[in-house]
Structure 1
Amino acid sequence: MKKIFKILIPLLLLGAITYQYRDILITRFFPLAPCTKPISYALGTFDAKFGISEKYFLNALLEAEAIWEKPFGRELFTYVPEDLSSDVLKINLIHDYRQEATNKLTDLGIVVQNNRASYDMLKIKFTELKAEFAAAKDNYDARVENYNDRLEAYEKLVQYWNARGGAPKKEYDELQAEKSVLDAQASGLKALEAQINEMITEINSMVVVLNRLANTLNLSVEKYNTVGASRGESFEEGVYFVEGSKREIDIYEFSSREKLVRVLAHELGHALDLDHVDDPKAIMYRLNQGDTEKLTNADLEALNAHCGVK
């Protein structure tokens, strides 16, 4: 009997340990075939500055899911609200200078595509605006210099007459008239400064997009520099990254719902372990320049090779 217990106790302990860590052991020694188990995802950071609701974003995600799931014939992704455990794919909506640049160009009526024609068009507008800015800045600097000279002369006269107990009526009236002129100049300079600052914002927005286009299109051109405070250099609409068990998708920029759905579908493709393909119209092409929300043959071939879609 003692011998039986000596055998049973280790077996029971081994069974308990095996049961407790069954998921890890199964994954380690009996991995599932690719795309067998749906990828669970949840919303992580959601920046309201995009001006869209979580419902709007989740609906776009469902559309992006369907792009992959429809040809596969079963669920590849599943939304798990409020689940932010380490093994859940987190999808973040992050508003920064990239979306600000896109919004500014949209406000200016400039629609940018990921192609050389858009780059050339934007370069022309940038050159024109940079020339306007230079002229406005020269005018502003000259007016500031004139204002400072007149202000200095005015203040000296005020000090002179104050030291003598006050100015006679004629001189006093002249000082009051000069003060009115100076106030008007200061107001005009403030308005001009606001215009110049708006130009700087527009120029820097163009710089961000020009540098992004030059990078993504592999153009051999010099990098454009921002005016005033510098901004980040990288420009990606979205990115999928893995760090240990941590998996996340960050969405930074989109100009329309269609672009949002495509960038989400692209990053979900990376979450499926798909690489880029060479078809410019494909969801998994390195640039978001297609105009369809359907998989191309190149996408389907990649999905078939990895997931076994027939």
Structure 2
Amino acid sequence: MKALKILIILLAITGSTVWSFQKKVVEVKNGKLSIEVENIFSTPCSQPIEYSIGNVDERFGMAREDFQKIVMDSEKIWENAMGMNIFEYNPDGLVKVNLIYDERQASSDESLKLEKELAALNSSANVLNKNYDDLKISYEKKSKEYEENLAQYEKNLKKYNNKVDDWNKSDKSSQSEYEELKDDKKDLEEEYKKLDKERKDLNSQSEKINGAVKKENKLVNNYNSKVNTYKDKYGATREFEKGVYSADIINIYQYQTEEDLRLTLSHEFGHARGIDHVENPLSLMYYLMADQDMDNPTLTNEDIREMKNVCEIL
């Protein structure tokens, strides 16, 4: 009997951490309440944390419904891995999830704007480079043709001048020779007109090349200026709090992509459940969002271990 009493006491003591009793109203019968007392197996995570959507600053350019969907997706990262309903959306939920716009997102937006401008300038530079290369290739080809035509013209001109000299030294009696000289002169004049047109075309193309070079130099200077601005403002490694959980409030301050936002929300949900930071850089609960897979986030062993610890799961 003594051993039995000790056993019962031990069971009562050890059981008190996992068992609780609550009264539940089942129904009303004949004007009387029918009360049922049931045993509930209880752990810290028996009931999901209910959350609601609070402030969604319109400066993020995200609709409230879209933000809510991403929030709900973020909790699934934990729940799918743990096989438990750990978090649950409720319009009146105690934990408020807010999207707060401040200097962090403003800085991120400016950084992204500069990056887009640099990308656009780089794209324009590529177009200018191709245009310059095309103009240069065309110029070199036409210049070669012009030099060849000019050499042929000078050769024909010399030949014509020699024939004229011979004609002048002759008795000038041959009408056929005279007509031939007239034809040669006409041909030379046509050749000269053609050469002059080619020369003007080359000069025009040379001006286009010079103009392209000036445009490219201006663009390069603009690009370099923006690169220096970007380096001055954002070149150094910056660490700041993208999100914070405190006193039943999750505030998200900065994100760049929806995947980034989802990962940050999952991290803060971990804090809401009572999990501290872990040491694995790949973990969802690592203090810095950098090396995790944003496109396909998964929990590491450290994440799972900490969730089991706070939920008292063996």
Q: TM-score, normalised by structure 1?
A: 0.48
Structure with the greater relative contact order (CA < 8 A, sep ≥ 6): 1 or 2?
1
Q: TM-score, normalised by structure 2?
A: 0.48
